[in-house]
A and B are shown apart, each in its own frame.
Chain A
Amino acid sequence: AQSVTQLGSHVSVSEGALVLLRCNYSSSVPPYLFWYVQYPNQGLQLLLKYTTGATLVKGINGFEAEFKKSETSFHLTKPSAHMSDAAEYFCAVGGYTGGFKTIFGAGTRLFVKA
């Protein structure tokens, strides 16, 4: 079975500060990991994904995430927050489970203060 836990339903940072959104996963098989962003009243957009290979993954809008197998984590970071980064962020895990699912976390809403 697979699961995703996003630590903190709300995160607030100042503009220009580091953004850190935490995601821990549980998977009995090698995971495929994703971060998505959702703006109000819109669908989700893919920020980045980890499937195999390099554990530091760079995505769009200056975001990156590092896959740490020993910590079962896939935290999302951005060195300097911008007002336009205010949105909800979802971590998701997929992988061969004999089924056909991508499991989404509950989401973390990011607030950016001027």
Chain B
Amino acid sequence: DGGITQSPKYLFRKEGQNVTLSCEQNLNHDAMYWYRQDPGQGLRLIYYSQIVNDFQKGDIAEGYSVSREKKESFPLTVTSAQKNPTAFYLCASSITGTAYSNQPQHFGDGTRLSIL
């Protein structure tokens, strides 16, 4: 079955450490997204990518970085510059990356990041 795989499911970060969250999709979708979810705040967009080798900042990109070298993969790095990284991180994809935002998004099962 096609879908989105996020790994690891749980991740712990030490102070001053960078960590990378993996997101892989086999849906042949062009667009991919990273969201951060905090209790009571819904989903906030970190980064998105419409096509390979291209990505744009979302609403809360500071302290995060991404790459999109392959269509299937969109890893997110949480850098030491992100002072409050404890959250649930969700990766998503959609068929196309048009400006119409009319495509539903397919989500992975998330990675929960905590600070040691």
Contact = CB atoms under 8 A, between A and B. Distances in A.
A41 B99 contact: no
A95 B102 contact: yes
B101 interface: yes
A104 interface: yes
B41 interface: yes
Interface residues of B, number: 30
Closest 3 A/B residue pairs (Cβ): A94-B101, A43-B107, A106-B42
Given A32-B100, A90-B43, A96-B100, 12 more contacts: A32-B102, A36-B107, A41-B110, A43-B109, A44-B105, A46-B104, A46-B105, A94-B102, A95-B100, A100-B56, A100-B99, A101-B58
Interface string B76-111: 000000000000001010000111111111111110
Interface size classification for chain A? 20 to 34
Interface of A: 9, 32, 34, 36, 41-46, 49, 51, 90, 94-102, 104-107
Interface of B: 4, 6, 9, 35, 40-43, 45, 48, 50, 56, 58, 90, 92, 97-110, 112
Contacts of A104: 35, 42-43
Nearest to B9: A41
Contacts of B112: 41
B104 A100 contact: no
28 contacts: A32-B100, A41-B109, A41-B110, A43-B107, A44-B43, A44-B90, A44-B105, A44-B107, A45-B107, A46-B104, A51-B102, A94-B100, A94-B102, A95-B102, A96-B99, A96-B100, A96-B101, A97-B101, A98-B99, A99-B99, A100-B48, A100-B98, A101-B58, A102-B101, A104-B42, A104-B43, A107-B40, A107-B42
